[in-house]
Amino acid sequence: MSSSSSDDGQERFALGFLFALITLLLSTVIGVVVYQRGMAHAAPAATGMAMTTAAPAATAPAAAPALDIDQGGSGVRVEGGVVKFYFGSGMAEIAAGANEALVDVVAGVAAGKKAIVSGFHDDTGGAAINAELAKQRAFAVRDALIALGVDEARIELNKPEQMQASGTNAQARRVEVVLSAN
């Protein structure tokens, strides 16, 4: 009887181990799917949004508080009336402080102006991937404006441009927002 009891214990251990392994595998797959779907919603596809190449007008928002760029290269600054969103390498998430930096842009759009959103990217990596990433960053800024109550029809997206940054590539990985008169 002890041999049968020992075999039952080994079978239970094997079945328990197999169950734990299957559970771990399923939770990993589900986690990856949830993460990828979350990323897809954070950076929506370009369907229905025309990108233009028009240069932004000279009219810009009044200065909002400047914010520091963090160690990862992301942050928000207002320089010369232009709101500049900086992004970490390969990232499209907007840094903290976006709403505060966009206050004057939202007020300008409410007064009848148009928000011009221009994406830029550095020269590291593939050109097509960088252009798509710059587009996703511009969409993230557009979505932040929409969340603040700006009508999507009052937002113009410019075609992404490649930049050679002086200093760091973080300067090239940015999105700029200015106001135009129309």
CATH no. for residue 102? 3.30.1330.60
Which tokens sit at 132? 């798509």
**Burial readout 68-87 (b: 16 or more C-beta within 10 A, e: otherwise):** ebeeebbbbbbeebbbbbbb
Q: Which domain holds residue 145?
A: 51-180
pLDDT per residue as tens, the chain (182 positions): 556 677 888 888 888 888 888 888 777 777 766 666 654 444 443 333 344 434 344 344 344 333 345 455 678 888 878 899 888 888 888 888 888 889 989 999 999 999 999 888 877 777 788 888 888 999 999 999 999 999 999 999 987 776 655 445 667 788 999 998 76
Tally of structural domains, the chain: 2
Q: For residue 153, with 0-12 CB atoms within 10 Å meaning exposed, 13-18 middle and 19 or more buried, which class applies?
A: exposed
75 and 35 both lie in a single domain: no
Task: Give the whole-angstrom CA distance, residue 89 versus residue 84.
Answer: 16
23 and 97 both lie in a single domain: no
Which tokens sit at 139? 């969409």
Provide CB contacts within 8 A for 173, sequence distance 6+: 73, 86, 87, 88, 89, 120, 121, 122, 137
Q: Which residue has the tokens 């907007």?
A: 94
15 and 98 both lie in a single domain: no
6 and 95 both lie in a single domain: no
7 and 69 both lie in a single domain: no
* 93-107 residue pLDDT tens: 888 888 888 998 999
119 and 57 both lie in a single domain: yes
Amino acid 23 reads T
Residue 175 host element (H or E):
strand 174-180
57 and 27 both lie in a single domain: no
97 and 12 both lie in a single domain: no
57 and 29 both lie in a single domain: no
96 and 6 both lie in a single domain: no
38 and 56 both lie in a single domain: no
